[in-house]
Structure 1
Amino acid sequence: MVGSAVLLLGLVPVVLCQAEFAPPTVNISLDVDPEVRWMPLLEVFDVDYLKKAAAEVIDSTVPKWVHHAVEPVVMALEKYVPQPYAGEIRGMASYMGGSLSDVIILNFAYEITAFCTSIVAQDKNGHVYHGRNLDYPHPVLRNLTVNIIFLKNGEVAYRGTSFAGYVGLWTGQSPNKFTVSGDQRGYNSNILFQLAGEGDFQDAVIRLSKIPIITGVYYIVGGVRAGEGAVITRDRVGPADIWPLDPVNGGWYRVETNFDHWLPPPSWDHRREAANKALNATGQDNINMDTLYQASVDQSTPITVYTTTMSAAAPERYNTLVRPQVITLCLKCICLHSQFLS
């Protein structure tokens, strides 16, 4: 028997992918005290892992001097952070075993590095669908993604997708009323459902357009009836633009990334172009929850953490999948062994 080995030298790209997966779901009761409201997180997340992951996000995002700058906020939390969120932050710091300042900084860190794509679309029958990608340059967030069902008097008040340790929502729906997502337009500090209120689509659009906020943001809102979809481009004090669906004139979908829709995006950002191409290829006749998900995936990036599809008129179909992490390796050599019988 004679053995031989062949050594191939060179750089060979190898792509390793995880499979997409559904995040865990927790129920959060709005009827309990804010300081214990988020304790159900501990049923699905290990405390030590949460602390380690939070430290990783903070250290890779927030400069050390910010830790000192946030001290006045810690000393007068209720002055800077409205209730019930101040109580929720205090509670998280308590049962996660971390400092109050770190939990506050973690919430800031989640906001200042977000990149997003949101799509609202209407099919030929007037059904409105809403999709979104949330992009972050922190791979660890894939393991912190969580679906949250908020209960009021035992009923579902709203639901959404967030990250463990964050008290707000960037993505969510009020069943049979509206869906909403927020896309970064500069630095954001927004609790979507506090801002949107508890009314219907029109109420949500009016409130999200007018309420004063810290800085600019894009709100993407979908409703339950034909024509109920819009992108709201916000300045601090009011709307810079409201871009509604216009299916009669061909505007059956709207795509928003992180740049004003009436201006061309930067040359290095192709998400809008990719989304438009995917949606035009799908066509209004074929748009639904499944094809919207595929269109969202088609313009996802290597830092896309999760993709959500939802429809306020079909709240039970709310769906979030954590996107695969893609790792590219360059191998300097591959040894191929072959044996020959003699």
Structure 2
Amino acid sequence: MKTALVTGSSGFIGYFVAEALLSQGWRVIGVDSMSDYYDVNLKQSRLDLLETHAEFVNVHGEVQEQGLLTALFAEHEPEIVIHLAAQAGVRYSLENPMSYFQTNLGGTLQLLEAARAHPPKHMLMASSSSAYGANTQMPYNENMQADHQMSLYAATKKSSENIAHSYAHLFSLPITMFRFFTVYGPWGRPDMAPHKFTSRILEGRPIDVYNHGDMRRDFTYVTDLVQAILLLVDAVPDHLTQQGQFDGDSLSPVAPYRVVNIGNSDTVPLLDFIKAIEDATDIKAEKNLMPMQPGDVPATWADASLLKSLTGYVPKTDVRDGVAQFVAWYRDYYKI
């Protein structure tokens, strides 16, 4: 049986990735610290579902813990590793910056050291569209210069990319970094806009709308994202044989390393996204229009043509359909 190691397995995206791998017959070693950054009960509910699978192994621990991942690599010899554990959130990085260094940088380094000692066939590691920072040319493509991050969170993600590239070069570790674009869907995090908007609208409370609503996002439905990740598992980068294989490839010339956008290849006005929630709840939102928040960017938009070239996959969930599914899950989970 093939073995995969998934960090952040009780998180929003990690849960869906682990569930999808298990459904495809993989044995999954899940690592999660169950941190209290947001509701631990939500994480526990995801974990409870994963533990109904006989081939799921839960490991409670922090990825930055010295030697933890090296011991797991030695014991389980995973063929693939999907690294999703991270301290998330742009605004929280202003309040608790040390947690971003410890988890996002320290955890990534521990993972790479484990892979150096026990190399898997492919490592897939989560980055973020926030790595594009102050870029205003859109849609974002993977070969754009990305040197001006706007938040500490974004800076740790871009730094993780750089560290991973160095390990890929030095130790011939095949690594794919994927940059996510505003992921939403059932089981989503309570600190993210879809969850906050839905909860407040259903409770009859006003919602905070930043930059006076003049924002756009490339909203990506979670199952679309997971499908793309699973297809990328077989797209192992090899700089020695794949140079020039695809137009616009981000493949490194000196390492088996590639950066891939995973987005919906569309940009949706924030007010349209809110309208989709209003329609799904049948409630008109009261909007509290606010200025732009520190570290935030006004727009994101993915060029996902490299993803299509590598896998043939195109994300397909329309925002209105995705929002309706999220609201239905929210009502069911919270018994509303």
TM-score when normalising by structure 2: 0.28
Q: Which has the larger radius of gyration?
A: 1
Which protein has greater RCO, CA pairs closer than 8 Å, 6+ apart? 1
Q: Which has the higher helix share?
A: 2
TM-score when normalising by structure 1: 0.28
Q: Which has the higher strand share?
A: 1
